[in-house]
């Protein structure tokens, strides 16, 4: 498990620059691997699971698959504004919409099922710290659902106003393997002050 910094892509991009995969030779055991068990958006910080052995890769991916539903994936986000209520579920299917060279995920009746649980953690300066639990694993699920919710992730360049850095953290990952995988990531520097103002400690 690594704590991926916000702004670092997991795969090498066309524009060049560093990526998580650049570090794979340092982590390699044997002739192949390691492998990414899952992915995080470039601007999302936090828990990223990497497999050094193929057997672990397959077992971990099976647990994280929607059909298995046995993994726990918790995210923290700073949202623009404050949602009504203290907790709930967003159940809104998502489909990929392409507009020229750009694409995004949008709520669509014929989209893939997408379910996200949310819980309000705190409020500061008119914005909210919200915990999200993924029940499905669609691309940009939290970001698209938060926007559909009427409170996009602060700094989101696709679903929000894009002002400042995106405030989304893969906070916790739990996999019930024979040797359980449990990891928790601290808020990145650009989120830490807001989280502290809401929670006092983390």
Q: Active-site positions?
A: 41
**C-alpha distances in angstroms, 72 versus 14, 41, 95, 167, 194?**
32, 18, 24, 20, 24
DSSP class per residue in 7-37:
T--SS--TT----GGGGHHHH--SSS--EES
175: which strand partners? 181
Rounded CA separation 156/158 (Å): 6
């Amino acid at each position: 498990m690594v704590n991926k910094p916000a702004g670092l892509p997991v795969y090498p991009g066309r524009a060049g620059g560093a990526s998580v995969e650049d570090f794979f030779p340092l982590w390699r055991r044997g002739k192949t691997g390691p492998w990414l068990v899952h992915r995080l958006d470039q601007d999302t910080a936090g828990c990223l699971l990497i497999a050094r052995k193929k057997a672990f890769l397959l077992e971990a991916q099976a647990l994280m698959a929607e059909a298995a539903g046995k993994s726990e994936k918790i995210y923290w986000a700073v949202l623009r504004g404050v949602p009504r209520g203290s907790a709930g579920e967003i159940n809104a299917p998502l489909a990929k919409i392409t507009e020229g060279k750009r694409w995004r995920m949008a709520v669509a009746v014929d989209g893939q099922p997408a379910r996200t649980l949310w819980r309000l953690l705190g409020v500061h300066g008119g914005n909210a710290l919200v915990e999200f639990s993924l029940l499905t694993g669609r691309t940009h699920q939290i970001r698209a659902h938060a926007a559909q919710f009427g409170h996009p992730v602060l700094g989101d360049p696709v679903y929000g106003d894009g002002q400042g850095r995106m405030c989304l953290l893969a906070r916790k990952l739990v996999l019930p393997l024979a040797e359980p995988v449990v990891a928790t990531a601290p808020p990145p520097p650009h989120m830490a002050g807001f989280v502290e103002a809401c929670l006092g400690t983390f």
